[in-house]
Amino acid sequence: MRVLGVDPGLTRCGIGVVDSLPGRRAELVAVGVAMSPAALSVDQRLLQIATELDTWMDAHVPDVVAVERVFAQHNVSTVMGTAQVAGLAMLAAARRGVPVAMHTPSEVKAAVTGSGRAPKEQVQRMVANILGLAEVPRPADAADALAIAICHLWRPSAIMDKAERFAQTPAQRAWAAAEQAARRAKGTR
């Protein structure tokens, strides 16, 4: 399973792609940050991020997009921008028929570190450890996007989805594999 994780933000939107490996392991495919300068109008900033998200979706053809669920903060303008970018990620996925999953920050922290109250630095170190990276991905938004993707890979229903795929008939597995290959081929054009 390939997951594209999104840590939504109007100034910096973290994007990370991971593949699942046997034995509850994950492999880094790509990581980066879509940025939009504060000097631009909001509509132009959203357009820049939407374009970047489309590029990532087409280049990596994920099976699912995992987005961090937006929570109310004291700064309403920050919440608005974050929510708008989360909407862009969901729209990019919907246009391609890719399912979307939302995960809370505490859910992500618990999946990666075992504690829903883990500090940001611990989450980042665990992301590097899980993916076998020599150093923590920078900036923090990039590491957060990878944590969101890992969280989705390791959620109980993802494991069940995998078990259900193995329970399919050979014809069902062949059809699912052909469908996934066609989606990936479409994304590389």
Q: Would the annotation count 7 as a binding residue?
A: yes
User: From CA 59, how far away is CA 147, in angstroms rounded?
Assistant: 20
User: From CA 130, how far away is CA 14, in angstroms rounded?
Assistant: 18
The catalytic residue among 7, 52, 63, 144 is 7
- Of 2, 4, 19, 1, the closest CA to residue 142 belongs to 4
In the annotation, is 121 catalytic? no
Q: Would the annotation count 68 as a binding residue?
A: yes
The catalytic residue among 27, 58, 121, 141 is 141
Q: Would the annotation count 19 as a binding residue?
A: no
In the annotation, is 54 catalytic? no
The catalytic residue among 52, 63, 68, 144 is 68
In the annotation, is 7 catalytic? yes
User: Distance of CA 116 to CAs 55, 103, 129, 177, Å?
Assistant: 32, 12, 18, 35
Q: For residue 146, count CB atoms less than 10 angstroms from its CB and return exposed for 0-12, middle for 13-18, buried for 19 or more.
A: buried
HSE-CB of 23 using CA atoms within 13 angstroms: 2
User: From CA 124, how far away is CA 136, in angstroms rounded?
Assistant: 6
Q: 17 is written with which tokens? A: 């792609």
Residues at the binding site for Mg(2+) are: 7, 68, 141
Residues at the binding site are: 7, 68, 141
Catalytic residues: 7, 68, 141
